[in-house]
Amino acid sequence: MKMRVLLAIAALVAVARTASISQEDLEFHGWKMKFGKSYDSEEEESQRKMTWLTNRKLVLEHNMLADQGIKSYRLDMNHFADMDNQEYQARFKSCLVSYNRTKPRGGPLFLQQQADATLPCAVDWIAAGYVTKVNQQKQCCSCWAFSAAGALEGQLFRKTRQLVSLSEQQLLDCSWLNGNSGCASGAIEHAFEYVEFEGLQSDATYPYEGKDGMCRFNPKNSQATCSGFEELPSGDETILQKAVAVIGPISAAIDTKRNTFRFYSSGVYDEPYCSTSDLDHAVLIVGYGTDKRGQDYWMVKNSWGVQWGEKGYIRMSRNKKNQCGIATRASFPVV
């Protein structure tokens, strides 16, 4: 009898302990394990958890609207979930430096050639073999290098029918004299200028490290070069569509400062509060299309890993007054 009482008491204690662990606690623990998160102190973990809970509320409320068809995209608790928006913006706000745009290089000729062209309703350069795998830029502000390398990879494939993953790390280490600053900041256009005169190795011979290093470029291992680059007319989505359809993947700069962008999971990203001029992130436009709801979109490759978005990609609103500045600063290399 006494043993039964003791077992009952032990069971009650176990239940009480289990009850003290909330659903939020379990989710936070699972999220930490999924993304390999750890903190230096209990105080930091407590603060991060509070931020995580705030972001969880945002994601849940947004997805309720998506379930009702009010929002065209869904959010997810990804690796940014323990950061508040101020910290997120501080990390990325200086990643993309300005570039003194000239008149579009070759723009008039490009427009004349495509003036009467009938464009396809949808383009997918991923399926066509022009696009390498999605990578993770880590804690380095190297989005500009990933965007430039991606555009070069597409044009190299267009010319040679060989898909080669090119070295973002070389651009980080070696293009300082062209105006870039490694993991601190850079410009897509400066990267193209560097490649024009130096060439670019493959990622296999100059792998990505996600941190600044000494330039180790070996001209004998160069895999790609270009004769320059062209800038598309700023803000013109019609011309951007022509370029994507005819040229291939196009480098672009966008505004990612809204919470909804960093937590994007799936669907067509429609964010009317995005800026068309205050741009902070470089990406690669790899196609376009229209979804089942009739929403036009750009297919965009990001450099935040495959656990972000649609396996590393985002569909961004197209033909919505240059939303998020998708056509403000678009360019491509001439290979």
Q: Helix %, strand %, coil % for the chain, to 5?
A: 40, 15, 45
pLDDT tens digits for range 309-322: 999 999 999 999 99
pTM: 0.90
Mean pLDDT, range 86-95, rounded to an integer: 83
pLDDT tens digits for range 219-239: 999 999 999 999 999 999 999
pLDDT exceeds 70 at position 135: yes
**Domain residue ranges in the chain:** 85-141+228-334
Q: Are 254 and 324 in contact (CB under 8 A)?
A: yes
Mean pLDDT, range 32-51, rounded to an integer: 92
Task: Write down the pLDDT at residue 5.
Answer: 41
Q: Which one of the listed residues 78, 141, 190, 281 is annotated catalytic?
A: 281
Task: Write down the pLDDT at residue 13.
Answer: 43
Q: Does residue 87 or residue 283 have the better pLDDT?
A: 283
Task: Write down the pLDDT at residue 4.
Answer: 54
- Is 29 annotated as catalytic? no
- Is 62 annotated as catalytic? no
Taking alpha carbons only, the member of 221, 227, 228, 248 closest to residue 161 is 248
Q: Report the phi/psi class of residue 129: left, alpha or beta, with left for phi > 0 and alpha for psi in -120 to 50.
A: left
Mean pLDDT, range 70-81, rounded to an integer: 96
pLDDT exceeds 90 at position 6: no
Helix (H, G, I), strand (E, B) or coil at 29: helix
Task: Write down the pLDDT at residue 20.
Answer: 60
Query: How many whole angstroms separate alpha carbon 196 and alpha carbon 154?
Result: 16
Token pair 């290093």: residue: 213
pLDDT tens digits for range 268-277: 999 999 999 9
Work out the mean pLDDT of the chain and round it to a whole number: 90
pLDDT tens digits for range 173-204: 999 999 999 999 999 999 999 999 999 999 99
pLDDT tens digits for range 252-263: 999 999 999 999
Query: How many whole angstroms separate alpha carbon 273 and alpha carbon 128?
Result: 33
pLDDT exceeds 70 at position 152: yes
Mean pLDDT, range 145-160, rounded to an integer: 97
Q: What is the largest CA-CA distance in the chain?
A: 95
Query: How many whole angstroms separate alpha carbon 29 and alpha carbon 14?
Result: 19
Query: How many whole angstroms separate alpha carbon 22 and alpha carbon 34?
Result: 18
pLDDT exceeds 90 at position 99: no
| Tokens standing for residue 26 | 């379990």
Q: Which one of the listed residues 95, 140, 143, 183 is annotated catalytic?
A: 143
Q: Which one of the listed residues 55, 135, 259, 302 is annotated catalytic?
A: 302
pLDDT exceeds 50 at position 16: no
Q: What percent of the chain has pLDDT over 70?
A: 89
Task: Write down the pLDDT at residue 111.
Answer: 55
Length of the chain (residues): 335
Mean pLDDT, range 60-81, rounded to an integer: 96
Q: What percent of the chain has pLDDT over 90?
A: 80
Task: Write down the pLDDT at residue 8.
Answer: 44
Q: Are 280 and 97 in contact (CB under 8 A)?
A: no
pLDDT exceeds 80 at position 15: no
| Tokens standing for residue 328 | 């403000």
Task: Write down the pLDDT at residue 93.
Answer: 76
Class of domain 85-141+228-334: alpha beta
Mean pLDDT, range 132-144, rounded to an integer: 95
- Is 324 annotated as catalytic? no
pLDDT exceeds 60 at position 19: no
Task: Write down the pLDDT at residue 94.
Answer: 79
